[in-house]
Structure 1
């Protein structure tokens, strides 16, 4: 069995509160009777994109297993590249990566648009992705990025999802993708996109209630809700299984 711990949106900002929420998730993983095979963090690693914030991210996610990280809309390419162990061709923006862990391949896309909250993939990025997906892969294949392309039926969050998603869907259709993994909306979500499972990790820093749920005390997000994560379980000959967990203690 291959286990992916899927984290998202820690928004480290130099405060003890943000650090401790991420630390509670990491401590939960450290308590497993067997380590996960890989940790994937789908963006908004830092809250302001500052070098000191990325130093904190690196320190808090210093684990004995591979840790894969990609940018979100709060991240900034240059300090992220300088402060974190990303393996991305070129310089600056975007920060696309291909990472192999065991027999699994992770295609990590940068859907961020500098200075904006929504996501977008350029024609050049889609061309790069098509080339990567044309390469043969023997094991499971995951495509991960920050901004989900599907609406959550939330009047605010739906403004900030991946824009112009149809050309992206055209690249993904028919490819042997095990699942698409995203974050950004601070909710654990299971849906589909381009014929593939689309699995969204909960937010670590906060949770965004849906419009018909009890409203958060301070507006858009509930900073008191427990941090969460997704565990994706891959077993030979079996469908992918995802378990969502809320971490109520450190």
Structure 2
């Protein structure tokens, strides 16, 4: 059994509110009787892309298991690389921050779908070529592709403005590859669907949980910044020869 603890969108900004919401999840993980094999945080690590925010995150993610991180639309490449140097292994010095990690027999391909100064996502032709090359390499264990922006509509009037705009090109690269699952963030809600005929799994939000338009409104009527719901995470459980299982947890 191989267990991934999948967190997303902590949006750390130096405030006690953001820090305490993340600590609810890290405290929960530290109490596991059987530690997870890896922790993945799928973007919007910092709220303003400042190096101090990444340093704060680095301190909070000092767990006794491997931790992987990737950028979201709130992140900035250079400060992220500096503040999270112990977590990031990516060629180059600036943007994009693509990574390849082998952890405990599983391979993680981490894509940077962020666009500097914008909220939507995009993968350049060069990034897609890099991904295609990496996916052509033989892998014995499970293979996960992770990035921040989903490439399809989310039935949310705000989030649907900020999707990955290179969805068809990405689908062409992913289709037919031996990928166990695609893991993403950005939605601040747990979500399970498919893309390119592959499982597509989104972690709940750490910082907030925006309601969909047909749900009861959040206190204050906001569509994005509802911080009244408990922070959440996904647990992806891989067992050789069996379908991947995902559980969503919201520790009180």
Q: For this structure pair, what is the TM-score category when the shorter chain's length is used for normalisation?
A: over 0.9
Structure 1 residue runs of 5 or longer lacking an equivalent are none
Separation of aligned partners in 1, 2:213 and 2:28: 30
Structure 2 residue runs of 5 or longer lacking an equivalent are none
Separation of aligned partners in 1, 2:176 and 2:240: 21
1:233 to 233, 237, 248: 237
Aligned runs of 1:56-135 on 2, under 5 Å? 56-84=56-84, 85-135=87-137
Provide the TM-score with structure 2 as the length reference.
0.97
Task: Return the offset for 1:216.
Answer: 1.7
Separation of aligned partners in 1, 2:79 and 2:155: 34
4+ aligned runs moved over 6 Å, structure 1: none
Q: Residue 34 in 1 paired to residue 3 in 2?
A: no
Separation of aligned partners in 1, 2:197 and 2:172: 10
Q: What is the aligned partner in structure 2 of residue 12 from structure 1?
A: 12
Provide the TM-score with structure 1 as the length reference.
0.98
Task: Return the offset for 1:202.
Answer: 0.4
Q: What is the aligned partner in structure 1 of residue 190 from structure 2?
A: 188
Separation of aligned partners in 2, 1:226 and 1:150: 26
Task: Return the offset for 1:217.
Answer: 2.4
Separation of aligned partners in 2, 1:50 and 1:43: 14
Separation of aligned partners in 2, 1:55 and 1:189: 29
Query: What is the CA deviation profile of residues 26-74 of structure 1, one whole-angstrom value per residue up to 9, with x for unaligned ones?
Result: 0000010011000000000000011110011000001111000000000
Q: Residue 179 in 1 paired to residue 181 in 2?
A: yes
Aligned residues: 248
Q: What is the aligned partner in structure 2 of residue 46 from structure 1?
A: 46
Query: What is the CA deviation profile of residues 118-159 of structure 1, one whole-angstrom value per residue up to 9, with x for unaligned ones?
Result: 100000000000000000000000000000112111111111
Query: What is the CA deviation profile of residues 66-90 of structure 1, one whole-angstrom value per residue up to 9, with x for unaligned ones?
Result: 0000000000000100111200011
Separation of aligned partners in 2, 1:55 and 1:14: 10
Separation of aligned partners in 1, 2:197 and 2:176: 8
